[in-house]
Chains A and B, each alone.
Chain A
Amino acid sequence: MDTFLQVVANGLLLGALFAIVSVGLTLIFGIVKVVNFAHGEFLMVGMYLTYLLTNRLGIHPFATVIAVVPLLFLLGALTQRFLIQPLMSARDDHIQIFATVGLSTALINLALLIFGADIANTSASGLRMPLQLGPVRVLTGQLAILAASVLLVVGLQRFLNQTQTGRAIRAVAQNRAAAQLMGINVNRIYILTFGIGAACVGVAAALIAPLYPTSPNIGTYFVLTAFVVVVLGGLGSIGGAFLGSLVIGLIDSLSGFYLSSDLREVAVFGVFLVILILKPSGLFSGGRLNLSHVSP
């Protein structure tokens, strides 16, 4: 029983981690209508930034968000302005896939060029300390991720629902032309959204770096799961992404323990493919965002 509780707890904590990586992706997905194939590489860039700031300058990993978040916001905004925006008028989204895939390839290899293939370990500063909570053992860093992911999800929801900018963002997501007629600068909203999406990854990076070894390919590892989560949760739905993350975390943890540790990915992707094929609009989507780009 205790083992089961531990496995479930691990699953939920892993889910929180997926959530914190996925919220930015789902935001970009839902509003700019672009699948950012370089999202994982944004995370990787953020993790290397955290690594450099922590190990070279001795800053606490969490404190690095002050620098990492704005830098990633900038990276995201620049990507939208100079890579995606010129391609927005392309009828087909193939060209946008190529663009972000190209960015992803370039970033991975740039990291290889600068840091080499060796693993970079960010100093943990007490974040790998185990805590005994009843029958369950968790790491302090994992609890921090759980707390941060809840805060991020709630914060983003409130931002989108209660601020003027948030309302503008949602308006653009629902009907670009109508929003434009209402005097919203759509291009600026897209740049802002892409920036915020990337900034979310910055938060994730600072929290994940102390727990996971950083390597040029680390982004691929996380982002494939993030894609699963986003599709599961319903495109562009932040709450859905959170729920989806917890589900995927549990599937990952349970299948890893009861099936075979190296078949976890098969289970996760199996779920993904089944959902993608049977219900491409996602399990938890209330149809809040305009998904017209999904159907033919």
Chain B
Amino acid sequence: MTDTSLVSNEPLSPAASSRRGAIAIAAILAALVVVPYLIGDQFVYHVFITICIFAALSTAWNIVGGFAGQLSLGHAIFYGIGAYAGIILMNMGISPWLGMFVGAAIAVIVALAISYPCFRLHGSFFSLATIAFLEVFRVLALHFRDLTGGATGKMIALKFGWEWMVFREKFPPLIIAFGLLLLTLAVAWWIRSHRIGFYLVATRERESAAKAAGVNTVKVRLTAVAVSAALTAFVGTFHAMYLTFIEPAAMFSLALSIQIAMFALIGGLGTVFGPLLGVIMLVPISELARGWLGAHAVGLHGFVYGAALIVVVLFMPNGLMGFLSRFKSQPAATKGQGLTVAAAPRDAERPPIGDPILVVDSLQKHFGGLHVTNNVSFALRQGEILGLIGPNGAGKTTVFNMISGFLKQDSGSVAVRGEDGKFHTPLAPTDFAAIGVGRTFQIVQPFAAMTVEENIMVGAFHRYQDVREAREVARETAHRMGLAPWLDAEARGLTIGGLKRLEVARVMAMKPRVLLLDEVMAGINQTDVRRAIDLMFQIRDSGVSIIAIEHVMQAVMSLSDRVIVLNSGQIIAEGKPHDVVRDPIVVEAYLGKEFVHAQA
């Protein structure tokens, strides 16, 4: 799901509204402790403790389910591990404060072991796999009776006091639950507002574009899962102490997993404070229903949950946070994007063309019986613009995919000169990005739910770890690309011309040394083509070497220092643009006789 509320509510948004938001959040958090203290009623305490626990669980879940978009329905595994570790160790005389960390450590190991293979799965399949793992854990907890007590479950040794996390009064557990909530919120907020958060959302939105921007998508997801599992296990340990009794069905429960995910969805998936909001909305209703009607109407509160989930999905897919953000001032209108490319005065002297920086040697690629590229060899020289042309299906994009690591060649090699002056042969997209190869995609791949600024920041993070620096670079790049007016607009709102420029901006923010442009001029109007050409020259003059796949002949002719013509996977001509278009082989294979007549 592409969550529109993701961006605008975060601490990243304009100062005034974020300050108001921060005050509201602080007030809500304070109320979580103050209200039950003032009322002093046992049931009220219980409700507020439950709110804190579920809000913490849901916030922790959201790091994986929301930020990373991996919809885990097995998060109770980590909760259960925390609970069992806590109680088993406590019965051995070890304080749950220590048990918490043991549980978290086990949860992290389990989380990594489960997630590594599962991250190959997408959407429903990932969810199904997590459910299956949860069932396995439940059955194992039932089976290993000596350790877990089997179906009968386990009681804690009733030892009271802070040391044991068990109390006669309700205030101390509220403080602990509240502390866990604060911890989880702080971690979620930190992640969302730092590099890893951008990387997670970018990976969720467009995995391949994230890879092209140098994001190690597997690593960031695993990090998110590990953090989320540890936090969930913390809460599990504490909740076990609070309940004083655990059993497999309640600890490794699918219903609990679903509930946690649901709170996050209802509050606002992928937002920092959404899950908290969702819990505050629903837990009191459910606890009251349970308290008042529980005896008469089993299942009523569950029915309310299910129905609420359906209603939210249908009518408020972005949750409460998305709903609230509708009342905030809208970002700049997205009209007229095509007309404002900053006219680029070319004052820089063109640097001379130097030695090869990227060398492609006899690339071969088959898809089944089809030879997509056959013996393709060429070199890109430092400071050169190399045009790659050819009819549709000639294999141009396939070549791009191989020289950016997205496709593995059957044979042949791609070597890139690194900053150390030596040639390297990167393999994965991330390696290509690391060595300074940036690319755009023929079909634009924006991170739709992120703003223009954030999109470009994902590229900038490649060189700048610090959020502020990355933002600065992103703004500066956006300015150069004529995207400045839409910095705060979501990428999904841009026109095709705007999106194409955004792609280039994102790559440029990576400060690449080699730029691979896949039809960046397709579908934009004449004025924009002329400005885009200027921009390419400007980029080249700043020392970047460019390979451009392009169909807009005007651009190819005026941009390229050299043109390579690809047909049926083979290079059929290579040379100066004007020579190439007069080459009879090219004319016959690609351009058609009319073109030559027109030229004449």
Interface positions of A (Cβ within 8 A of B): 35, 83, 86-87, 90-99, 101-113, 116-117, 216, 220, 224, 227-228, 231, 260, 262-263, 265-266, 269-270, 272-273, 276-277, 280, 293-296
Contact = CB atoms under 8 A, between A and B. Distances in A.
B124 A83 contact: no
A287 to B, nearest CB: 13
Nearest to A106: B306
A105 B129 contact: no
B54 to A, nearest CB: 16
Interface of A is mostly: helix
Interface stretch (B220-228, B308-316, B422-430): B308-316
Contacts of A269: 132-133, 135-136
A287 B127 CA distance: 23
B306 A86 contact: no
Contacts of A277: 117-118, 120-121, 129
Given A105-B255, A105-B303, A231-B128, 7 more contacts: A99-B314, A101-B73, A103-B306, A105-B302, A106-B307, A110-B303, A112-B298
Interface string B117-144: 1101111110111011101100110110
A102 B117 contact: no
A27 to B, nearest CB: 16
A157 B295 CA distance: 48
B207 interface: yes
A94 B73 CA distance: 11
Given A83-B314, A102-B262, A263-B139, A276 B128 contact: yes
Contacts, number: 154
In the A-B complex, the 6 residue pairs with the closest CB atoms: A112-B299, A106-B306, A102-B309, A109-B302, A105-B306, A35-B124
Contacts of A83: 310, 314
Contacts of B314: 83, 86-87, 99
Contact of B71 (A94, A104, A110, A220): A94
B332 interface: no
A32 to B, nearest CB: 12
Contacts of A295: 122
B495 interface: no
B299 A280 contact: no
B568 interface: no
A260 to B, nearest CB: 7
A173 B303 CA distance: 33
B136 A98 contact: no
A106 B303 contact: yes
B585 interface: no
Contact of A99 (B71, B123, B269, B313): B313
B514 interface: no
Contact of A113 (B1, B2, B124, B298): B298
Q: Which of A95, A111, A220 has the most CB of B within 10 A?
A: A95
A108 B300 CA distance: 10
